Amino acid sequence: MSIRLVILGILNQQPLHGYEIKQIIEEYMGDWTDIKFGSIYFALSKLAESGHIEVIEENRTGKRPAKTVYQITAAGKEEFLRLLKKAWCEHKQIIFPFDMALFFIKYLSKAEAVQYLQQRIENVTQKLNFLNDHKNEHRQNPYIPKEAIAIIDHSYYHLEAELHWLQDLLNNIDDYL
Amino acid sequence: MSIRLVILGILNQQPLHGYEIKQIIEEYMGDWTDIKFGSIYFALSKLAESGHIEVIEENRTGKRPAKTVYQITAAGKEEFLRLLKKAWCEHKQIIFPFDMALFFIKYLSKAEAVQYLQQRIENVTQKLNFLNDHKNEHRQNPYIPKEAIAIIDHSYYHLEAELHWLQDLLNNIDDYL
DNA sequence: TTGAATATATTCAAACTTGTATAAAAAATT
DNA sequence: AATTTTTTATACAAGTTTGAATATATTCAA
């Protein structure tokens, strides 16, 4: 999965322990990913097992759990580039959970369906506004790399598409019920 | 998750065994989902355990594995409506694995990045053409419910957004390297 | 008619994710 | 100074998905 890519990519810059990796993910990718601690520690132990990373320090402060600091290996750097190129090449079909919900529309009343659609439209509109503000802040900050703005745009474009689709759906709701 | 919704929705119409459920999913939702046998059988046993469905028949033909036919219960019908409404209400943020790949663009050469982007653009264009044909076929077939077309449109709108975003990215590639 | 491919039907181990628990230091609050 | 909240740091159980394995029936061509 892409968790391995992220962890190798982050460790490619400097050795870190699990908690720090989580913080970096949160800081730089927090808006568009949601990687849990459990996944990070699991991936770390798997990557260590396969020799892509290695422990360079086990640092115990008082009686807290020991910090296990990991470093990327030569094999890990290769694996990182392999995963990176793979991620650039393969285009995965997006799965929309809402399609399932739409598939079973006949079990809702028209009033309900309309209400939910209006809620979704409102929700998407708010997210678009939020992203717009966010992007303007980013644009003015010279320390934010351009990729970050491109990634925001990615969500923006798709949210716009979602909005238009939802509006079409609402306009033609009578066809579906 | 939505597997439970799908299974309850399908069993809401008629009692079926696991293999048949898979076939129905394949037939009606094959284009926009990819639910594995393992997930279906797991969900079936969980739903049976919680009393949302029940076994009504264990049918052995010769020495093949016995078909276990499940039927939805009253509790299951309630649960179905609960899950359906939940799915209509909640808007989950889409996660694009490619964002990870873009985040690490600095580890690629410009030539590589351009080549991969062109590949992605080509790929998305092909999918759009395919969906377009598909949709026209569907439109002419009076037995295809309208929702099916709306679901195709859903992918179509998002693929268009993806295409435009990729083209922007390619046009401004020098900003990122 | 025989044997190769495909369809039927499920199980299970292994991989992975999520959520919760644990435990203590540091910071903030009263 | 005492208490609460937040931050640091990991582990582990429980839930879920994936992929491979199993075993038989049916179809179809050579």
| CB B25 within 8 Å of CB B35 | yes
pLDDT at B116 over 80: yes
What pLDDT is attached to residue B64?
A: 58
What pLDDT is attached to residue A162?
A: 98
Question: Taken in order B124, B126, B129, B132, is the CA torsion positive or negative?
Answer: negative
Percent of chain A beyond pLDDT 90? 76
CA Rg, chain A, in Å?
A: 22
What pLDDT is attached to residue A126?
A: 95
Q: Does the beta-carbon distance from B84 to A99 stay under 8 Å?
A: no
DSSP B19-82: HHHHHHHHHHHTTT----HHHHHHHHHHHHHTTSEEEEEEE--TTSPPEEEEEE-HHHHHHHHH
Please tell me whether residue B146 adopts helix, strand or coil conformation. Answer: helix
> What is the rounded CA–CA span in Å between residue B71 and residue B47?
11
CATH number of A3-89: 1.10.10.10
Local confidence band at A62 (pLDDT 50, 70, 90 cut-offs): low
For A73-93, the pLDDT digits (tens) are 999 999 999 999 999 999 988
Stretch A50-54: mean pLDDT, rounded?
93
| A contacts of B155 (beta carbons < 8 Å) | 93-94, 96
C-alpha pair distances (Å), A100 with each of A106, B33, B155? 12, 9, 13
Look over chain B and give the mean of its residue pLDDT values, rounded to a whole number.
91
Q: B67 — phi, psi (to 5°)?
A: -75, 125
How far is the alpha carbon of A2 from chain B, nearest alpha carbon, in Å? 7
Look over chain A and give the mean of its residue pLDDT values, rounded to a whole number.
92
Asked whether residue B62, judged by its CB, lies under 7 Å from any atom of the DNA or RNA strand D, the reply is yes
C-alpha pair distances (Å), A107 with each of B70, B80, B85? 21, 10, 10
Residue B101: name the closest of A151, A68, A165, A75 by CA: A151
Percent of chain B beyond pLDDT 90? 73
Distance in angstroms between the alpha carbons of the first and the last residue of chain A:
40
For B127-141, the pLDDT digits (tens) are 999 999 988 888 888
What pLDDT is attached to residue B135?
A: 85
- Residue B101: count other Cβ atoms within 10 Å of its Cβ: 24
Stretch A125-134: mean pLDDT, rounded?
93
Q: Protein footprint on strand D: which nucleotides are under 7 Å from a CB? A: 8-13, 16-26
pTM of the model: 0.91
| A contacts of B158 (beta carbons < 8 Å) | 94, 96, 158, 161-162, 165
pLDDT at A125 over 70: yes
DSSP A131-152: HHHHHHHHHH-TTS-HHHHHHH
pLDDT at B66 over 80: no
Point out the residue nearest to C7 (C-alpha to C1').
B19
The DSSP code for A14 is S
Question: What are the start-end ranges of the E strands in A6-164?
Answer: 16-17, 53-59, 67-72
